[in-house]
Structure 1
């Protein structure tokens, strides 16, 4: 009987070992990737106008009818930006009067927004 007990114990331990190993989680967690981000084109209304209106198109500066050029509406801002001068003046490039005049340079985020609006095709 002692021999049978050893045999059954061996069988039970072996089966237990197989069952224990079968229950381990050998699968890798699935890699979840973000879907492609939605790229939205910058527009005058949503992106450029708030910056231009607060930093450029106010009394004494780039308002409608100003001799120095208006940035107060889409058509005027588009024309000014289309010449390429807008990006030069807000980036304080050599050979142009840095803008806004007598004020700090626009923040990098605001400059990037204006640059994106221009790069995206000066959309309204």
Structure 2
């Protein structure tokens, strides 16, 4: 007795996500887009929490730590310490290019506390 299995197969052409860092900045909400990202990716024991390294990235204080601590440069966003760090030494903690673009766009938009 033989069994014949048939099925259908179709290649999906999913276009790659294209990120244009110099295109128009997307609207990014610090409270809903970035604070949770920093809290889960950076506010870990021994890292960016009280007793660790500045800026502290706990959701309730991260905005003030980042902006008032001199980690963003809204005049030249690519020179922001935050932007440089998440694209170099700390890239492994925010590996998503989309998330890093959100940080960059937030800085380009003036780093609002929204």
1:111–1:59 CA distance, 2 compared to 1 (3 A): same
- How much does 1:60 deviate? 1.1
Give yes or no for contact 1:69–1:80 (8 Å, CA) kept in 2.
Answer: no
Instruction: Tell me how far apart the structure 1 counterparts of residues 107 and 27 of structure 2 sit (CA, whole Å).
Output: 10
Bigger Rg, structure 1 or 2: 1
1:113–1:121 CA distance, 2 compared to 1 (3 A): same
Q: In structure 1, which of residues 99, 108, 124 is the aligned counterpart of residue 90 of structure 2?
A: 99
1:61 equivalent in alignment to 2:47: yes
Instruction: Tell me how far apart the structure 2 counterparts of residues 123 and 43 of structure 1 sit (CA, whole Å).
Output: 8
Gaps of 5+ in 2: 1-24, 74-79
TM-score, normalised to structure 1's length?
A: 0.53
Aligned length: 79
Gaps of 5+ in 1: 1-38, 93-97
TM-score, normalised to structure 2's length?
A: 0.57
The structure carrying a bigger helix percent of its residues is: 1
1:87 equivalent in alignment to 2:76: no
